[in-house]
C-alpha cells in the first residue's frame, strides 16, 4: 500500500496542530482540537504519535519552522539590496496576517509563551527553530562584519516576533510594517556606516 | 466589615490570573488554574467576576499593564541620557526573567497570541495596554522629532516583546540584552543624527 496514503491522516494532524499553535498556542494543539480540525479518528493520536501531544507539538513546530525558514531564504535570495529584502520579509508577513484577519501568528511564539513544567521540553525545540531563522538571515548579511552579523540577525527575528504580537493585539499590519522599516534601516546603517 | 478584607480573595484571583497569563497565556488564566493558585473557594469566580473568565482575564491584563507602565516610567524618570534608560528597561527585564527561571513572560503577549473567537474581545484590551507603554516611552523621547517619536517608541515595545519570546525559548537573557543594546543605539542615532 502507498505509504503516502497511509501517512495522510497523520499529516493532516500535524497541519492542524500547526494552525492550532499559530491561532492559540499550545491550547490550540491539544488532542481534541487537533482531532476536530483534522478529521482524524478519535483515539488515533497515540496510534500516529506514540509520544502523545508533545510529539505532535514538536513535529508541528518543526514543520512550521522549516516552512518559514524556506520562506525567509526565498525572499533573501531575491536579487537586490539585502536591506530591501529584509523589509520585504516584514511586508509579506503583514500582508499574510491581514489576509488571515490577524487570527494567526507564529507557532513558535505561541508555544514559547505557553511553556510550563509539563511542556518545558519544547523550549529547546523552539530555540533551535529560531536559530535556523537567525542563521538564514545572518547568511544574507555576509557583507556585515562577522561579530555584528549574528546579533543583528537575531534582532531581526526579535523584531518579527514582537511585531507579530503587537499586530495581533492591534488587528493591524502597522506594527509589522513599521518594524520592517526600522529593521531595514539598521541593516543599511551596518552596510554603509557613516 | 472592612471592604478591603472582603476584597482579598478577589485580589488574589486577579494576581493568580496575572501569573497564569505570564506563564502560559489564556490557558493559565482558566477557572481551575486560578482557583488552585489563589486558594479562593471553588465557585467563587462568578461571585467576584459576574462576567466570568473574560472579566477576570481583562482585569488581570489591566493590572499587569499598569504595573509595567509604572515600571517603565520609573526607569525612564532616572536622570541621565534616555538611550541609557531604554537599555536599562531591557536589562531589568533580562534580570527579572533570569531570576524567574524564564518561566514567566509578558501577560499581554501571552493573551494576544492565544486569542480565538471566544476571546477576541480581549484584543482591544491588549492593544490599549501596549499603547500605554508606547505612550510612556514616546514621552521620554521628547527630543526626537514628533513624526519619528511614536514609531520608534512602538518599535521599542516590539523589541521588548520579541526579545521576551526568544528569551523564553532560549532560556537565556542574551536576546533581551542584545535587543536592549540595539534599541539604545537606535535612540542614540535619532538623538545625534550624523
Structural domains counted in chain A = 1
Asked whether residue B1 carries a pLDDT value surpassing 80, the answer given is no
Show the cell assigned to B140.
521620554
B100 in A contact zone (CB under 8 Å): no
CATH number, domain containing residue A163: 1.10.357.10
Q: Do A182 and B108 touch (CB under 8 A)?
A: no
Q: Distance between CA A107 and CA B112 in Å, rounded? A: 13
Report yes or no: A53 and A29 within 8 Å, Cβ to Cβ: yes
- Own/partner long-range contacts of B52-55 (Cβ < 8 Å, ≥24 apart): B53/B29, B54/B119, B54/B121, B54/B122
Asked whether residue A1 carries a pLDDT value surpassing 60, the answer given is no
Give the global pTM.
0.94
Q: Distance between CA B57 and CA A9 in Å, rounded? A: 36
Residue percentage of chain B with pLDDT more than 90: 89
pLDDT of residue A6: 53
Asked whether residue A7 carries a pLDDT value surpassing 70, the answer given is no
Q: Give one DSSP letter per residue of chain A, joined into a string.
A: --HHHHHHHHHHHHHHHHHHHHHHGGGGGSHHHHHHHH-PPTT-HHHH-TTHHHHHHHHHHHHHHHHHHHHHHHHHTSSS-HHHHHHHHHHHHHHHHHHTTT----HHHHHHTT--GGGGGGHHHHHHHHHHHHHHHHHHTTTS-HHHHHHHHHHHHHHHHHHHHHHHHHTSSHHHHHHHHHHHHHHHHHHS--
Asked whether residue A101 carries a pLDDT value surpassing 80, the answer given is yes
Which among B127, B54, B135 has a CA at the least distance from the CA of A174?
A: B127
Cα nearest neighbour of B112 on chain A: A169
Band of residue A2 on the pLDDT scale cut at 50, 70, 90: very low
Whole-number CA gyration radius for chain B: 18
Mutate to test the interface with A, among B130, B165, B179, B183 (most CBs of A within 10 A): B165
* Boundaries of domain holding A85: 3-191
Report yes or no: A183 and A157 within 8 Å, Cβ to Cβ: no
**Window 113-132 of A, Cβ < 8 Å to B:** 113-116, 123, 126-127, 130
Tell me if ipTM is over 0.90.
yes
> Would you give the distance in Å from CA A27 to the centre of its chain?
17
Q: Do A123 and B157 touch (CB under 8 A)?
A: no
Closest by Cβ to B166, choosing from A26, A27, A130:
A130
Show the cell assigned to A68.
518559514
How many beta-carbon contacts under 8 Å exist across A and B?
Answer: 160
Amino acid at each position: 500500500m502507498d505509504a503516502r496514503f497511509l501517512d495522510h491522516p497523520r499529516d493532516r494532524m500535524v497541519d492542524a496542530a500547526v494552525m492550532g499553535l499559530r491561532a492559540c498556542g499550545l491550547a490550540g494543539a491539544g488532542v481534541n482540537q487537533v482531532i476536530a480540525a483534522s478529521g482524524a479518528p478519535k483515539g488515533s493520536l497515540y496510534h500516529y504519535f506514540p509520544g502523545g501531544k508533545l510529539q505532535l507539538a514538536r513535529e508541528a513546530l518543526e514543520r512550521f519552522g522549516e516552512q518559514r525558514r524556506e520562506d525567509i531564504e526565498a525572499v533573501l535570495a531575491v536579487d537586490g539590496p539585502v536591506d530591501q529584502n529584509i523589509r520585504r520579509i516584514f511586508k509579506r508577513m503583514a500582508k499574510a496576517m491581514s489576509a488571515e484577519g490577524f487570527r494567526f501568528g507564529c507557532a513558535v511564539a505561541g508555544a514559547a509563551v505557553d511553556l510550563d513544567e509539563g511542556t518545558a521540553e519544547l523550549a529547546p525545540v523552539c530555540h533551535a527553530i529560531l536559530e535556523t531563522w537567525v542563521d538564514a538571515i545572518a547568511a544574507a548579511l555576509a557583507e556585515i562584519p562577522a561579530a555584528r552579523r549574528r546579533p543583528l540577525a537575531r534582532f531581526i527575528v526579535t523584531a518579527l516576533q514582537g511585531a507579530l504580537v503587537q499586530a495581533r493585539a492591534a488587528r493591524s499590519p502597522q506594527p509589522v510594517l513599521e518594524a520592517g522599516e526600522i529593521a531595514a534601516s539598521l541593516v543599511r546603517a551596518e552596510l554603509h556606516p557613516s
